[in-house]
């Protein structure tokens, strides 16, 4: 497989890069950023993660790759801190195989200790379905990591089969409403009731809500009226390289 070879090579030769997409509060102040993986192919073109993440999952590359992503995000925050910037937490996507690895919590802890990084500066995003793949190990990892002070969010919320009972048991602080709900929110007979319900349920459970895929001022003001806490999307910024993120720290 061509993508698999490309990824193995990229892991050894600095071929992966993290981009960062800002997550803002209601006053449009920067609160955190999501790290999004990018891969350059032999011709210097970007390959989209929706193409290579599934191959990484099935080939097992996701484990060393996932480790690299966490380490790279942590090294990036540390180097921004050492350069004197007022940093915000970085949210890293954790794949189904990663959260099912018994060694994950120790690996992350070692990374944080080596860098002397405050665990509160690392957020982890998991999906409901990835937690359900190996619920016992996943829950153990999440409990250990949140015990260290790492916050968890549920990514793509609403797209899988939600078990409200399970959600209630997980140590998570935030739900991310999937962008498919945000994009159809303003349509007649659209997803507006779903968005309202997710926000009110999240708040009832003591969780905060990030709306993904916010593209218009109309969506933003409607989400604000609904009480949504945090916002991410092309309206504010696309995912950007690390160098372009620096001015955002103010
Ligand atoms: O950037 P966007 O095209 O950037 O990302 C597409 C998909 O790839 C999203 O579903 C996102 O969650 C996933 N993704 C992006 N970066 C990572 C990563 O570092 N690890 C994992 N597991 N998934 C990622
Ligand atoms: O599944 P996850 O939420 O991790 O995926 C993030 C993906 O969403 C990335 O591919 C990112 O580029 C994309 N994305 C972020 N903001 C927007 C947006 O406002 N509109 C669209 N269409 N995609 C977005
Ligand atoms: Mn995500
Ligand atoms: Na998503």
Give me the residue label for tokens 């319900």.
Answer: 197
Q: Is residue 63 domain-resident?
A: no
In a domain, 210, yes or no: yes
To test ligand 2's pocket by mutation, which of 18, 21, 91 has the most ligand atoms within 8 angstroms of CB? 21
Ligand nearest to the CA of 219: 2
Average pLDDT over residues 52-73: 96
Q: Are 30 and 52 in contact (CB under 8 A)?
A: no
Counting Cα atoms < 13 Å in the Cβ hemisphere of 194 gives 18
Specify the pLDDT at position 164.
83
Judge whether 10 lies within some domain. Answer: no
pLDDT band of residue 139 (cuts 50, 70, 90) is: very high
| pLDDT given at position 11 | 95
Q: What are phi and psi of 213, to 5 degrees?
A: 70, 30
Q: Is the pLDDT of residue 22 over 90?
A: yes
Does an H or E element contain 21, and which? strand 16-25
In the DSSP assignment, the letter for residue 53 is H
List, in sequence order, every residue forming a beta bridge with 6; answer none if it has no partner: none
Residue 186 located in a structural domain: yes
Domain assignment present for residue 90? The answer is yes
Does ligand 1 lie within 6 Å of residue 239's CB atom?
A: yes
Average pLDDT, rounded, for the chain: 96
Identify the domain containing residue 122 by its residue range.
22-36+75-249
Does residue 194 sit within a domain?
A: yes
CA of 114 to the centre of ligand 4 (A): 30
| 48 within a domain of the structure (yes/no) | no
Tell me the pLDDT band of 99, cut-offs 50, 70 and 90: very high
**Structural domain count, the chain:** 1
Q: What is the pLDDT of residue 237?
A: 98
Residue 123's contacts (CB-CB under 8 Å, 6 or more residues apart) are: 32, 89, 90, 91, 92, 150, 151, 152, 153, 174
For residue 219, the model assigns a pLDDT of: 98
Which residue in the block uniquely carries the two structure tokens 């160098």?
A: 243
- Quick check: is 8 in a domain? no
Name all residues whose Cβ lies below 6 A of ligand 2: 21, 36, 93, 155-156, 179, 212-215, 232-234, 239
The enclosing domain of 206 has a CATH number of: 3.20.20.450
- The protein residue with its alpha carbon nearest to ligand 2, atom 8, reads 213
Full-model pTM: 0.97
Which segments of 51-150 are extended strands (E)? 90-93, 122-127
Q: Are 21 and 238 in contact (CB under 8 A)?
A: yes
Tally of CB atoms within 10 A around 14 = 8
The pLDDT value recorded for residue 161 is 75
What are the pLDDT digits (tens) for 157-205?
Answer: 988 877 888 888 999 999 999 999 999 999 999 999 999 999 999 999 9
Angle at 211 between CA 63 and CA 232, to 5 degrees: 70
Whose CA is closest to atom 22 on ligand 1?
95
């Amino acid at each position: 497989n061509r993508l698999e070879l490309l990824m193995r090579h990229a892991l050894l030769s600095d071929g992966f890069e993290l981009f960062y997409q800002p997550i803002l509060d209601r006053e449009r102040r920067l609160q955190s950023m999501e790290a999004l993986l990018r891969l350059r192919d032999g011709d210097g073109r970007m390959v989209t993660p929706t193409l290579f993440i599934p191959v990484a999952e099935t080939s097992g590359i996701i484990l060393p790759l996932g480790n690299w992503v966490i380490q790279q995000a942590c090294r990036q925050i540390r180097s921004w801190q050492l350069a004197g910037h007022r940093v915000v937490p970085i949210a890293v996507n954790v794949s189904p195989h990663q959260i099912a690895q018994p060694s994950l919590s120790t690996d992350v802890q070692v990374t944080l200790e080596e860098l002397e990084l405050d665990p509160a500066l690392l957020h982890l995003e998991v999906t409901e379905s990835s937690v359900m793949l190996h619920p016992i190990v996943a829950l153990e990892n999440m409990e250990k990591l949140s015990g260290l002070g790492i916050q968890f969010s549920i990514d793509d919320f609403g797209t899988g089969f939600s078990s409200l009972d399970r959600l209630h048991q997980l140590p998570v602080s935030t739900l991310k409403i999937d962008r498919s709900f945000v994009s159809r929110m303003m349509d007649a007979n659209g997803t507006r009731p779903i968005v309202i319900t997710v926000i009110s349920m999240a708040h009832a459970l003591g969780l905060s809500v990030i709306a993904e895929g916010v593209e218009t001022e109309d969506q933003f003001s409607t989400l604000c009226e609904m009480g949504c806490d945090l916002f991410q999307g092309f309206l504010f910024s696309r995912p950007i390289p690390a160098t372009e993120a620096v001015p955002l720290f103010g």
